Amino acid sequence: MILQAVADTLPLYRDFPIIGSRGAVWIAAELHLMFAAFVLGVPMFAVVAEAIGIFGKDQRYDRLAKEFTRLLLIAYSATAIWGAVLTFLLATLYPRFWAYLTQIFGASMWVYVSIFFFESFTLYLYYYGWDRWKVGRSKIVHWSLGILLNIWGTLVMFIADSWLTYMMTPPRDITPETATTSIKIWHAIMNHTWMPINIHRLIGNVVFGGAIVGAYASYRFLASTSDEERAHYDWMGYVGNFIAIAALIVLPFAGYWLGREIYQYDQSMGITMMGGFMSWLWVIQAFLIAVLFLAGNYYLWIGMGRIPGAERFRPYTKWLLAVLVIGAIVWGTPHTMIADSRELTAMGGSHHPFLGVLGVMSAKNTAVNLMILATFLSFLMYRRANTRPVVPWAKTGTQIQGAMFAIAAAIVLFYGIRGYFVEAIVRIGYSVYQVGAVLACIVFVTVIDVLLARGAESRGTIQWGKMPPRSQYALFILAVTFTWLMGLMGFARSGIRQHWHVWQVIPDTSPYAATPALGYAAIMISVCVLIFLALVGFIFWLGGLAEKSTFVEAKHVGH
């Protein structure tokens, strides 16, 4: 009855040798999404870099954009290949379910393919017309092609997101009997989590693009044979890290929105995700994100060694490190401990008398918001290290910035502590105030800092290339950790559907219906990450073969 509109001759499922049908689809889908994030994040990076090169008249940014667009050509082919593999696997291993999706989303799939064609055409024009359209007003025409490329890519992502979010949060009035007859395609697309996923993935792709840029720059930095090359790739690594961490600061807020929408749609789904068997995923996630924050800040602190004037900020880094480490410990503390009977007796239950206090959301929200403030302060010190403000209100402006940090931290701490003395429904609302305080601090402090930088004097020339090799390993860590984190969160999003293809509409009756154990999931995610990084390493190698040995001399770059 559920699939009455699908041909009865189709088998429900087919199996895949050795790893099973779920494992095959998992690997293909994960690699396709990772490469899709690559080809969506890097064009955003490239078009911004090209704009800086055009309007700021800094040719290094233009070369940076072109260099990564060349890598994009290879990655684009890999994305299409894995997308085709995923389609074939779904059509052959899950034929009835695939037929069901095509019946609902068939029109959007045609649009998807059409936009994919236009995106490919635009990419080739953008890259191969680079030198021809870099004269006079044609620069703006070429830059407009880059903007159009990002528009096509964003539309493709939005369409694909509608398919996966429909499986997780189909419209409430859909029943098994009306699953293929009464639903309208726009109704299916505009489901409960479609826009939160779009925003979350859009920001995540920016982080991912910056991390890949940083990893490529670190690879080329370590392989460089001249000071000129090291200077160029040191600067490139700085730009990639700046974009990745800047976007990472706001990414948790998009995650909060997505989690809130899941709870609003179906509380049992949210409880499964945060308080059920998947709760330990969030402990792993906490430590992975802590690694991202620590690695990004470490790179900034090491980078201060090449900036004249940065030495005045070095004494403060130990306090920022303390905030980050304590925040990571609190964020990663589980609410319910895994313990044997003897340990449970000693604790007096599954909740540790002290650590249990740190395992609740009041503590975790407080910790992550303070970590975000600390990371933003690191960026601010890095930005100010090489400059001496000359505006008459410089001292007052700096004091106002400091007061904003103090007020934001006080609001975060107040509502974090207050959350222990109110009901859960009130406590959840407090997170909005904490997030609002942090975002307001970031926005207003940035505005003041931009005004302070007008006409600022330089404290000396930045010594690009004067970075120890260990600084480049931090960029590698950022790329690897974020890639693994993407796979982990993809499993969390899909796993909360449990034994449903489409939540409470189309059940999964295959042998792989149950949500896999966390150990198995970790192995599968790690395999996907290793395959992806191996292919990205191959792309880096090909990019190095195509790279001409002509470098723009590194000069002072303003922040």
Work out whether strand 500-502 and strand 506-507 pair parallel, antiparallel, or are unpaired: antiparallel
Structure confidence at residue 388 (pLDDT): 84
96 neighbors 10 (Cβ within 8 angstroms):
yes
Confidence of residue 351 (pLDDT cuts 50, 70, 90): low
Percent of the chain with pLDDT over 70: 89
Confidence of residue 5 (pLDDT cuts 50, 70, 90): very low
Structure confidence at residue 6 (pLDDT): 46
- The token pair at 489 is 């969160």
| For residues 61-71, average pLDDT | 82
Helix then strand then coil, in percent of the chain rounded to 5, is 75, 0, 25
Q: What are the residues facing 506 on neighbouring strands?
A: 502
Structure confidence at residue 48 (pLDDT): 85
Residues 6+ positions from 131 with CB-CB distance below 8 Å: none
Q: Kindly give the residue spans of alpha helices, DSSP state H, lying in 266-391.
A: 267-274, 279-303, 314-331, 341-347, 355-358, 361-384
Distance CA 468, CA 218 (A): 11
Structure confidence at residue 461 (pLDDT): 81
Percent of the chain with pLDDT over 90: 22
Structure confidence at residue 136 (pLDDT): 62
Alpha-carbon dihedral sign for residues 286, 291, 297, 298: positive
Average pLDDT of the residues of the chain? 83
User: Cα torsion at 22, 24, 29, 34 (round to 10°)?
Assistant: 130
Distance CA 77, CA 303 (A): 35
- The token pair at 144 is 């407009």
Question: Is pLDDT above 90 for 465?
Answer: no
Tokens 């899909």, residue located: 494
Confidence of residue 352 (pLDDT cuts 50, 70, 90): low
| For residues 499-516, average pLDDT | 87
Q: Kindly give the residue spans of alpha helices, DSSP state H, lying in 350-418.
A: 355-358, 361-384, 394-418
Q: Give the Cβ contact number of residue 354 at 10 Å.
A: 9
Tokens 């179906």, residue located: 266
200 neighbors 258 (Cβ within 8 angstroms):
yes
Distance CA 264, CA 192 (A): 9
Structure confidence at residue 341 (pLDDT): 74
Q: Which amino acid is at 364?
A: K
Question: Is pLDDT above 80 for 546?
Answer: no
Angle ∠(120,125,130) on CA atoms, nearest 5: 135
pLDDT in tens, 186-209: 888 989 899 999 999 999 888 888
Distance CA 299, CA 302 (A): 5
Question: Is pLDDT above 90 for 24?
Answer: yes
329-333, 421-425, 486-490, 527-531: range with lowest mean pLDDT: 421-425
Tell me the range of 1-5, 131-135, 441-445, 452-456 where mean pLDDT is highest.
441-445
Structure confidence at residue 115 (pLDDT): 92
Q: Give the Cβ contact number of residue 349 at 10 Å.
A: 12
Distance CA 310, CA 427 (A): 41
Q: What are the residues facing 457 on neighbouring strands?
A: 388
Question: Is pLDDT above 90 for 409?
Answer: yes
Structure confidence at residue 174 (pLDDT): 65
pLDDT in tens, 369-398: 899 999 999 988 888 888 888 888 888 998
Work out whether strand 457-458 and strand 387-388 pair parallel, antiparallel, or are unpaired: antiparallel
DSSP E strand boundaries for 282-366: none
Structure confidence at residue 558 (pLDDT): 46
| For residues 100-105, average pLDDT | 89
Distances in whole angstroms, Cα of residue 358 to Cα of each of 283, 291, 364, 412, 535: 12, 19, 7, 15, 40
Tell me the range of 64-78, 170-184, 404-418 where mean pLDDT is highest.
404-418
Distances in whole angstroms, Cα of residue 120 to Cα of each of 117, 148, 150, 555: 5, 11, 11, 35
269 neighbors 350 (Cβ within 8 angstroms):
no
Question: Is pLDDT above 80 for 3?
Answer: no
pLDDT in tens, 78-87: 888 999 999 9
Structure confidence at residue 163 (pLDDT): 93
231-235, 329-333, 517-521: range with lowest mean pLDDT: 329-333
Question: Is pLDDT above 50 for 550?
Answer: no
256 neighbors 435 (Cβ within 8 angstroms):
yes
Distance CA 4, CA 181 (A): 10
C-alpha atoms less than 13 angstroms from C-alpha of 292 in its C-beta half-sphere: 32
Confidence of residue 77 (pLDDT cuts 50, 70, 90): confident
Distance CA 120, CA 124 (A): 6
Distance CA 460, CA 306 (A): 10
Distance CA 354, CA 317 (A): 29
pLDDT in tens, 135-191: 666 788 888 999 999 999 999 999 999 999 999 999 876 665 555 556 788 888 989
